[in-house]
């Protein structure tokens, strides 16, 4: 049986390598064929092993990346939770921080001219301009026409009622340069009027003449009132302007 097997093997080798092979070289050919087969198997195993290693490494890298991503997500969740507990709010990149609105001063000791229906249009505009300087200083802008109106009408109780005098004085206390100098001169001239010129002596009227007991005219009383208002305002303004020099 063993001999038959050997013969069959030899015939196969002869079929693969050609019939011109001698009988003495058969064992060598068989041995070479076996070695080649072993080398092929070994090479195949090495290639398979390398492929397996590459697959394992790639799977490891994928696992590491997924682990890092999960860790970052957990950290972010913790931060968000802490921020919510502390009442902190985070702004997204698309959101812009809201600008802080400048607060207006509503606690002024002066009445608001805009709510006064008695004032004339010009008086309302000029006094509102002065009021805005103290109510909303950052947004207030100088207006020469409004200031000139206040200076011209500072002595008139009809144009500027008494309840707006503190506002008027507070505004005019801040004027500078030639406007301030002219105001000081005007106040001084009101408080120190020129001496009246000597007039001819009046003739004595006979007793019983009705003109001798006539009361002063209404116009004279009005003039006295106006002078009193002027003097009062001039005195107040002069005190304030003297302090601010």
Predicted pLDDT at 91: 44
85-94 contacts at long range (C-beta below 8 A, 24 or more positions apart):
none
Checking if the pLDDT of 203 tops 80, the result is no
- 151 and 232, same domain (yes or no): yes
Q: State how far the Cα of 228 lies from the Cα of 211, in Å rounded to an integer.
A: 27
- 76 and 125, same domain (yes or no): no
Question: Is position 22 within any domain?
Answer: yes
Q: State how far the Cα of 113 lies from the Cα of 118, in Å rounded to an integer.
A: 9
Q: State how far the Cα of 23 lies from the Cα of 10, in Å rounded to an integer.
A: 9
- 135 and 230, same domain (yes or no): yes
> pLDDT higher for 6 or 132?
132
Q: How many helices (H) and strands (E) does the chain have?
A: 7, 0
Question: Is position 107 within any domain?
Answer: no
Please write the tens of the pLDDT for every residue from 117-167: 999 999 999 999 999 999 999 999 999 999 999 999 999 999 999 999 999
- Split into its structural domains, the chain has a count of 2
Question: Is position 24 within any domain?
Answer: yes
Helix axes 144-152 and 165-172, enclosed angle (nearest 10):
120
User: CA-CA-CA-CA torsion for 66, 68, 69, 75, nearest 10 degrees?
Assistant: 150
> pLDDT higher for 120 or 6?
120
Q: What is the pTM of this model?
A: 0.50
pLDDT band of residue 58 (cuts 50, 70, 90) is low
Please write the tens of the pLDDT for every residue from 169-202: 999 999 999 999 999 999 999 998 766 666 555 5
- 230 and 147, same domain (yes or no): yes
Q: Which domain holds residue 168?
A: 113-192+223-243
- 67 and 177, same domain (yes or no): no
Predicted pLDDT at 176: 93
Residues constituting the chain:
245
């Amino acid at each position: 049986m063993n001999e038959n097997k050997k013969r069959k093997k030899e015939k196969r080798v002869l079929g693969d390598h050609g019939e011109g092979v001698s009988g003495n070289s058969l064992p060598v050919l068989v041995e070479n064929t076996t070695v080649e087969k072993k080398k092929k198997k070994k090479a195949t195993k090495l290639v398979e092993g390398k492929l397996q290693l590459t697959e394992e490494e790639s799977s490891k890298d994928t696992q590491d990346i997924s682990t890092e991503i999960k860790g970052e997500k957990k950290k972010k969740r913790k931060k968000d939770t802490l921020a919510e507990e502390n009442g902190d709010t985070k702004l997204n990149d698309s959101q812009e921080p809201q600008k802080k609105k400048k607060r207006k001063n509503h606690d002024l000791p002066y009445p608001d001219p805009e709510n006064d229906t008695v004032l004339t249009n010009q008086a309302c505009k000029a006094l509102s301009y002065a009021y805005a300087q103290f109510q909303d200083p950052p947004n207030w802008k100088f207006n020469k026409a409004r200031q000139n109106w206040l200076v011209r009408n500072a002595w008139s109780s009809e144009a500027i009622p008494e309840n707006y005098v503190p506002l008027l004085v507070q505004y005019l206390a801040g004027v500078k340069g030639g406007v301030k100098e002219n105001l000081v001169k005007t106040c001084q001239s009101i408080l120190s009027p020129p001496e009246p010129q000597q007039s001819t002596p009046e003739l004595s009227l006979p007793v019983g003449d009705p003109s001798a007991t006539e009361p002063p005219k209404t116009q004279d009383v009005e003039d006295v009132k106006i002078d009193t208002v002027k003097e009062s305002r001039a005195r107040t303004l002069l005190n304030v302007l003297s302090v601010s020099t």
